[in-house]
Amino acid sequence: MSPLINFFLYALIAMCFICLYRVIKGPTIADRMVGIDILGILVVGITAIIAMKTNRMFILDIGIAWIILSFIGTLTLAKYLGRNKLNE
Amino acid sequence: MSETISLILISIGILFDLLGCLGLLRFPDVYNRLQSATKCVTLGTWCILLGVFVRFGFTEIGLKALISIPLLFLASTVAAHSLARAAYHYGFPMWKKSVADDYRQQVQKEEKIATNIEKHAGS
């Protein structure tokens, strides 16, 4: 069971590098924001796998906090991007 | 038995994550990238968390994984929706082979209503 978990962990880390490629290379600013958003969701999966591997429960707290911070960050950047029309 | 089910669920989740990241890498347009990546990666992470819950049951780790699921669904979908709307209103161009743009009619209708309201308020 353990080598399969290690394989899952390495696969998720490789996907994080794909997201970082999109953040660095992205033609527009919206592409970079999409990359950051997807990276935040992938990290939650990584924390779940690490918590399953090491049997420690506090690592999932990092995942929950990361979800909330990624949500607030993406909403703030979207507000900044569409500031011409979203003037409530 | 529960370990086998959890490994199968996590494998399905990794597969969906991989497909979403391939979409993020290969699609030509910001809207296509957003659509592919957000849906696939959200479902994949949902499957991983469900696999962790099946593996550990109603213990501390399992319950935290179960709590993360609705939080992840609400946060990622709302963030993706607001990001797509902001990108459209900012005016990023679509792919040149796109065939449909239904949101433009809605935007024009809203702008017409807004100008009518301003005209009546001025007179």
pLDDT tens-place string over residues B79-101: 999 988 888 888 888 888 888 88
Out of B18, B48, B80, the one facing A48 most closely (by C-beta) is: B48
C-alpha dist (Å) from residue B117 to B50, B82, B92, B120: 50, 26, 28, 5
In a domain, residue B78? The reply is: yes
In a domain, residue B115? The reply is: no
In a domain, residue B123? The reply is: no
Interface of B with A in 18-37 (CB under 8 A): 18, 20-22, 24-25, 30, 33-34, 37
In a domain, residue B32? The reply is: yes
In a domain, residue B40? The reply is: yes
DSSP B93: P
How far off is chain B from A48, nearest CA to CA, in Å? 6
What domain range is B35 assigned to?
2-95
pLDDT tens-place string over residues B55-83: 888 988 889 889 999 999 999 999 999 98
pLDDT at A87: 47
C-alpha dist (Å) from residue B99 to A16, A28, B85, B93, B94: 32, 22, 19, 13, 10
In a domain, residue B111? The reply is: no
Degrees, nearest 5: CA angle A60-A65-A69: 145
Residue B37, C-beta contacts closer than 8 angstroms, at least 6 positions apart = A34, A38, B20, B21, B23, B24
Place B15 in a pLDDT band, splitting at 50, 70 and 90. Answer: very high
What CA–CA distance (Å, rounded) separates A45 from A48? 5
pTM: 0.86
In a domain, residue B64? The reply is: yes
What domain count does chain B have?
1
In a domain, residue B38? The reply is: yes
